[in-house]
Amino acid sequence: MPKILIIGSKGMLGQELVKVFSADENYEVVSWDTEDIDITKEAQVKSKILPLAPQIIINAAAYNNVDKCEEPAEFAKAKELNGLAPGYLAQAAKELGAVLVHYSTDYVFDGLKKEGYKETDEPSPVDNYGWSKLLGEQQIQRVGGKDYNWQGGRSKNLFLLRPSEPISSDAIFYGGAYLIRLQKLFGWPAQSPGAKKSFFYNMMTLAKEKKKLEVVDEESANFTYAPDMAKQTKYLIEQKLPYGIYHITNEGLPVTWYGAARALFMILGRNDIKLTPVAADKFPRPAKRPKYSVLLNTKLLPLRPWPKALKEFLGR
């Protein structure tokens, strides 16, 4: 029975990963959050994870306060959690011969490419948060070895090779890394105190207090439903797909924040809410955002459109 360690288990995505893998009796699930391990401490990563000896390590922990990340002290924290910690986990996975799954973001791109971004496109962040996440990608790549074909998949020097011959279900997990980029995650609020809420949750909260809302009509992308991402992560591992970078997000027409808010209140039947599209500079923010950071999935079957996932989330 493969042992799977889920780090960041009380976050929005982490809690869904715990649900999905715990529902399968073929897995032994160990769920850790901040009270269980500090992954920014390399010695602690080694002392806690190596004796546990999981076959799969999923890192769903992240610093995601985009604007505060522009402050020097906060950027330092982000570089530790988003940047250096993934490298520590990758090294532990390498020593164990385990699979590492790590999540990154569309914010590693500058948002200038009108047709969207493939897994092979060169990252170029426009804010500190994006740089911290790119550092994490680079640290995993560094551990994988200089000959790892990071854009296209795995090579013989990425941790260990998987054998090509049929093997038992208990032995399908060999060392390698899946790096999954996602965007605009939404789902049920995280269990972690003070965790960031999703855009849709925040819009519904505001609509309880106001009937007129101004929403930024910029920064086009798709949305990612946390339960769908958790299921797709499990699929990715179990299908023994090549290691490397994957873009996983719910499909559909890319929208701005304003477009997403319109879809939300339309589904809810809230005709009493008046939405006004505004430019991003109406609400000055410390961090710059990519204008069009649509992630293009060229490796996997597409997930359902995000409006359908949103309807499920809303119970419609």
127 pLDDT higher than 90: yes
Task: Say how far apart CA 58 and CA 32 lie, in whole Å.
Answer: 10
Once rounded to an integer, what is the mean pLDDT over residues 270-285?
Answer: 96
pLDDT confidence of residue 103:
99
Residues 90 and 157 in one domain: yes
Residues 169 and 99 in one domain: yes
pLDDT in tens, 239-248: 989 999 999 9
Quick check: 26 and 169 in contact, CB under 8 A? yes
**Is residue 193 domain-resident?**
no
pLDDT band at 164 (very low <50, low <70, confident <90, very high): very low
Once rounded to an integer, what is the mean pLDDT over residues 17-41?
Answer: 98
pLDDT in tens, 177-194: 999 999 999 999 998 777
pTM of the model: 0.91
Residues 131 and 203 in one domain: no
Residues 35 and 139 in one domain: yes
123 by DSSP, 3-state: which? coil
Residues 160 and 283 in one domain: no
310 pLDDT higher than 50: yes
Residues 210 and 245 in one domain: no
**Is residue 20 domain-resident?**
yes
| Tally of domains within the chain | 2
228 pLDDT higher than 70: yes
Helix axes 199-207, 257-268, angle to 10 degrees: 60
Please state which of the ranges 79-88, 102-111, 151-160, 292-301 shows the lowest mean pLDDT.
Answer: 151-160
**Is residue 216 domain-resident?**
yes
pLDDT band at 195 (very low <50, low <70, confident <90, very high): confident
pLDDT confidence of residue 171:
34
| Residue 158 falls in which region: left (phi positive, over 0), alpha (psi -120 to 50) or beta | beta
Computed over every residue of the chain, the mean pLDDT equals 91
Residues 123 and 241 in one domain: yes
Alpha-carbon separation of residue 140 from 18, 159, 242 (angstroms): 23, 11, 16
**Is residue 137 domain-resident?**
yes
Backbone angles phi, psi at 26, to 5 degrees: -80, -5
Residues 173 and 32 in one domain: yes
**Is residue 191 domain-resident?**
no
pLDDT in tens, 137-146: 999 999 986 4
CA angle 82, 88, 91 (to 5 degrees): 135
Task: Say how far apart CA 92 and CA 45 lie, in whole Å.
Answer: 7
Residues 213 and 246 in one domain: no
Q: Which domain range does residue 233 map to?
A: 3-186+223-251
pLDDT band at 158 (very low <50, low <70, confident <90, very high): very low
Task: Say how far apart CA 266 and CA 307 lie, in whole Å.
Answer: 11
Q: Token pair 């609020």 is at which residue?
A: 189
34 pLDDT higher than 60: yes
16 pLDDT higher than 70: yes
163 pLDDT higher than 70: no
CATH number of the CATH domain containing 128: 3.40.50.720
Q: For the chain, what percent of residues have pLDDT higher than 90?
A: 86
**Is residue 298 domain-resident?**
no
pLDDT confidence of residue 2:
94
pLDDT confidence of residue 165:
31
Residues 141 and 205 in one domain: no
**Is residue 56 domain-resident?**
yes
Residue type, 59: N
173 pLDDT higher than 90: no
Residues 144 and 216 in one domain: no
Using the CB atoms, write b or e for 235-249: b if 16+ within 10 Å. Answer: ebbeeeeebbbbbbb
pLDDT confidence of residue 196:
86
Residues 108 and 242 in one domain: yes
